[in-house]
Amino acid sequence: MEPSVSRYAVNSLLYRLKKEPDFRARFTADPAAALAGLDLTEPERSAFIARDMRKINELGGYLHLVMSIPGLAAH
Protein backbone atom coordinates (compact mmCIF):
# COMPACT_ATOMS: atom_id res chain seq x y z
CA MET A 1 0.00 0.00 0.00
CA GLU A 2 1.43 3.35 -1.04
CA PRO A 3 0.73 6.50 0.98
CA SER A 4 -1.60 8.78 -0.91
CA VAL A 5 -3.99 11.63 -0.38
CA SER A 6 -6.82 10.05 1.56
CA ARG A 7 -10.55 10.34 1.51
CA TYR A 8 -11.81 13.43 3.27
CA ALA A 9 -15.34 12.29 4.08
CA VAL A 10 -14.19 9.26 6.07
CA ASN A 11 -11.56 11.11 8.05
CA SER A 12 -13.57 14.23 8.79
CA LEU A 13 -16.30 11.96 10.16
CA LEU A 14 -13.78 10.08 12.32
CA TYR A 15 -12.44 13.41 13.55
CA ARG A 16 -15.93 14.62 14.52
CA LEU A 17 -16.61 11.36 16.34
CA LYS A 18 -13.43 11.84 18.34
CA LYS A 19 -13.70 15.54 19.09
CA GLU A 20 -17.46 16.23 19.31
CA PRO A 21 -19.00 14.35 22.28
CA ASP A 22 -22.55 15.38 21.31
CA PHE A 23 -22.17 14.05 17.77
CA ARG A 24 -20.59 10.87 19.16
CA ALA A 25 -23.59 10.39 21.46
CA ARG A 26 -26.02 10.83 18.56
CA PHE A 27 -24.01 8.35 16.50
CA THR A 28 -23.96 5.84 19.33
CA ALA A 29 -27.74 6.13 19.80
CA ASP A 30 -28.63 5.93 16.09
CA PRO A 31 -25.72 5.61 13.65
CA ALA A 32 -27.82 5.71 10.47
CA ALA A 33 -29.60 8.88 11.54
CA ALA A 34 -26.36 10.58 12.59
CA LEU A 35 -24.84 9.85 9.17
CA ALA A 36 -27.86 10.99 7.15
CA GLY A 37 -26.90 13.57 4.56
CA LEU A 38 -23.14 12.95 4.80
CA ASP A 39 -21.17 12.45 1.60
CA LEU A 40 -20.32 8.76 2.09
CA THR A 41 -20.26 5.84 -0.33
CA GLU A 42 -22.43 2.89 0.59
CA PRO A 43 -19.45 0.75 1.74
CA GLU A 44 -18.28 3.65 3.92
CA ARG A 45 -21.74 4.19 5.39
CA SER A 46 -22.16 0.47 6.07
CA ALA A 47 -18.76 0.25 7.76
CA PHE A 48 -19.61 3.14 10.08
CA ILE A 49 -23.05 1.77 10.92
CA ALA A 50 -21.43 -1.59 11.74
CA ARG A 51 -18.71 0.27 13.71
CA ASP A 52 -16.25 -1.85 11.74
CA MET A 53 -13.05 0.06 12.43
CA ARG A 54 -10.97 -2.43 10.48
CA LYS A 55 -13.08 -1.79 7.39
CA ILE A 56 -13.03 1.98 8.00
CA ASN A 57 -9.23 1.85 8.19
CA GLU A 58 -9.17 -0.20 4.98
CA LEU A 59 -11.33 2.48 3.32
CA GLY A 60 -8.77 5.15 4.20
CA GLY A 61 -9.57 6.07 7.79
CA TYR A 62 -6.45 7.17 9.62
CA LEU A 63 -5.11 4.60 12.04
CA HIS A 64 -4.64 6.98 14.96
CA LEU A 65 -8.28 8.06 14.72
CA VAL A 66 -9.71 4.55 14.52
CA MET A 67 -7.60 3.65 17.55
CA SER A 68 -8.61 6.54 19.77
CA ILE A 69 -12.31 7.43 19.42
CA PRO A 70 -13.83 7.09 22.88
CA GLY A 71 -16.11 4.08 23.09
CA LEU A 72 -15.59 3.12 19.45
CA ALA A 73 -11.84 2.64 19.22
CA ALA A 74 -10.18 -0.49 17.91
CA HIS A 75 -7.16 -1.48 19.94
Binding positions for other proteins, rule: CB under 8 A = 1-6, 8, 11-12, 15, 18-19, 21, 53-54, 57-58, 62-71, 73-75
Q: Which is nearer to other proteins, 6 or 46 (CB)?
A: 6
Closest approach, Cβ 43 to other proteins, in A, equals 16
SS in 3 state form for 48-67?
HHCCCHHHHHHCCCCHHHHC
Closest approach, Cβ 44 to other proteins, in A, equals 16
| CA 8/CA 25 separation, integer angstroms | 22
Decide: 48 and 35 in contact? Cβ < 8 Å.
Answer: yes
